[in-house]
A and B are shown apart, each in its own frame.
Chain A
Amino acid sequence: MGEIEGTDIEGLKRGTELVKRGFAQMQKGGVIMDVVDAEQARIAEDAGAVAVMALESVPADIRKRGGVARMAPVETNEEILEEVSIPAMGKVRIGHEAEARILESIGMDMIDESEVLTPADEKNHIDKRDFDTPFVCGARDLGEALRRIDEGAAMIRTKGEAGTGDVAEAVRHQKAIKGGIRKIQGMNTEERRNYAREIEAPLPLVEETAELGRLPVVNFAAGGIATPADAALMMRLGCDGIFVGSGIFGAEDPESMGRAIVEAVNSYDDPAALAEISRNVGGGMKGRSKESLSEEEQLQYRGN
């Protein structure tokens, strides 16, 4: 069936908050895998990924190469988009509205305004409400998460420390988000108002989050997840799903590792199943600890 003529159908609305947040809800319980070309995208889809994230090189390689990291070439995004039947997402630099418009124009399903790339604007993030395409953004704590949601993000992911294979920062960020929510649940209206001012997010969003007891959008884990056990750990911390960057195609056997991480996300609370899943997946990515990086080398401090 062809594209619908919007004008022929009364009451049809695209790009609404419901439609954008709903897209993110459909990704829950899933694994979104970083891929750099169509071949990797095919492997990811066959391994059971719920979506692929197109980028020029995985975060571990971005680190090695240095220099300015930008949106992947349009051809790379398109090649990946055309290869898979699952959603294809693309990364743009923080604050780079023009890159985001390009990805929206070629039809990428979601845009990641990502600290893994070199920020284009030190102070401001993209006004994401203005887009029909949903966005995902990274956060290190509740304040950052709520600022991004206020700007229109339909999904939040932990920043973690991408490209390290060290899950510690993702754990820290998820616990900070959850701890922040517990904190505002214990506050009265006056305290919540002060807190909202402090984190520069609107009070109604703080109230809504406190009432729900969770972020009002889907909350994924990202940054340093390298093994099935890492994925299970993040699910146990209350994440809705997992992004894996260098952890799949940096592993010895990407296909087995991809499939094992998908299964681990489903069986995260079943230790015997996790043990079985973790057998014969080969070596994980080499990785380096966050402690071995200087502050300038760390990506999580990009964006605000």
Chain B
Amino acid sequence: MLAGVVGVQGDVSEHQAAFRRAGEELGLGVETVAVRSSGTVPDCDVVALPGGESTTISSLIRREGIDDEIREHVGAGKPILATCAGLIVLGRNDDSRVDSLGLLDVTVERNAFGRQRESFEAPLEVEGLDEGFHAVFIRAPVVSEVGEGVEVLAEFDGDPVAVRQENVVGTAFHPELTDDYRIHELLLRGQDD
């Protein structure tokens, strides 16, 4: 199985490591690739859009033609995980500085908690995981509007911070920054069905 992490900017190697570890946990042979140009996403079984700066990521994936390949990947019903900046790029937002893809029917508010000094870690209950998840929020967004067909997997302080729409999973926090790979496992399992 090939897991592609969109690698134009952000915490790419962390997602690659998380997919590998999740694969080991599930007994699946998972190879990973950092996607920095077009031509690779079509070969990927599962894709991640990492954390980083949504302004930079959205502009580079368009320049490289990776945006259309992500559209096709999602259109074909293949799984994708979008974390933090990735969620901003995959959903919709009102900020003209980010060219978002609108592939997840949610509106995302950037930097919703404030600046870096407001970044935090906290325990979270996530739907579909039997035990709590330790979540790291870095200059994190929140989901401000949820469309029909979107399931809220987790809330923090009343706002959705993890959502799922069929095979598209988005989190405002960073499951790739801790040693808990259960959210990456969810994505790989989806593929195994």
Binding site for B on A (CB under 8 A): 1, 3-4, 8-16, 18-19, 22-23, 25-30, 45-46, 48-51, 81, 85-87, 104, 107, 109-110, 132-134, 262-263, 265-267, 270, 273
Q: Which residues of A lie under 8 Å from residue B97 when comparing CB positions?
A: 45-46, 85
The reply to whether B37 and A19 form a contact with Cβ atoms under 8 Å apart is no
Subset of 21 A-B contacts with CB under 8 Å = A1-B112, A3-B113, A4-B118, A9-B122, A9-B157, A11-B123, A12-B120, A12-B122, A15-B117, A22-B136, A23-B138, A26-B52, A26-B85, A29-B52, A30-B9, A30-B53, A46-B97, A48-B55, A50-B9, A50-B53, A86-B53
Number of A-B contacts (CB under 8 A): 136
User: For residue B178, which residues in chain A have a CB less than 8 angstroms away from its CB?
Assistant: 18
Find out whether the CB atom of B121 lies under 8 angstroms from the CB atom of A19.
Answer: yes
**Do B139 and A14 have beta carbons less than 8 Å apart?**
no
Given A4-B157, A18-B121, A270–B37 Cβ distance below 8 Å?
A: yes
B94 shortest CB reach to chain A, Å: 12
* Distance in angstroms between the alpha carbons of A98 and B117 in the assembled complex: 17
Given contacts A26-B139, A263-B60, 7 further A-B contacts (CB under 8 A): A11-B122, A12-B120, A46-B97, A87-B53, A107-B117, A262-B60, A267-B37
Closest approach, in angstroms, between the C-beta of B33 and any C-beta of chain A? 14
With A and B bound together, what is the CA distance between A81 and B109 in angstroms? 18
Could you say which of B11, B64, B123, B142 contacts A25, with CB atoms under 8 Å apart? B11
Q: Interface digits, B46-69 against A, CB 8 Å rule (1 contact, 0 not)? A: 000001110110011001100000
A26 touches B12 (CB 8 A): no
Across the interface, which residues of A come within 8 angstroms of B95, CB to CB?
Answer: 85
Decide if B84 touches A86 in the complex (CB within 8 Å).
Answer: no
Identify the B interface with A (CB < 8 A): 7-14, 36-37, 51-53, 55-56, 59-60, 63-64, 84-85, 95, 97, 109-123, 136, 138-139, 142, 156-157, 159, 174, 177-178
A265 CA to B59 CA, complexed, in Å? 14
- Bound together, the chains give a CA A16 to CA B136 distance in angstroms of 10
Chain B residue nearest to A214 (CB atoms) is B13
Residues from chain B with a CB closer than 8 A to the CB of A22 are: 11, 119, 136, 138, 174, 177
- Compute how far the CA of A261 lies from the CA of B95 in the bound complex, rounded to whole angstroms: 24
Quote the shortest CB–CB distance from A5 to chain B (angstroms).
9
Closest beta carbon of chain A to B51's beta carbon, Å: 5
Q: A29-B8, A48-B55 are in contact. Are A109 and B121 (CB under 8 A)?
A: no
On whether A109 and B53 interact (CB within 8 A), knowing A19-B120, A266-B8, the answer reads: no
- Docked-complex contact B177 and A25, CB < 8 angstroms: yes
Q: Please, which residues of chain A bring their CB within 8 A of the CB of B174?
A: 22
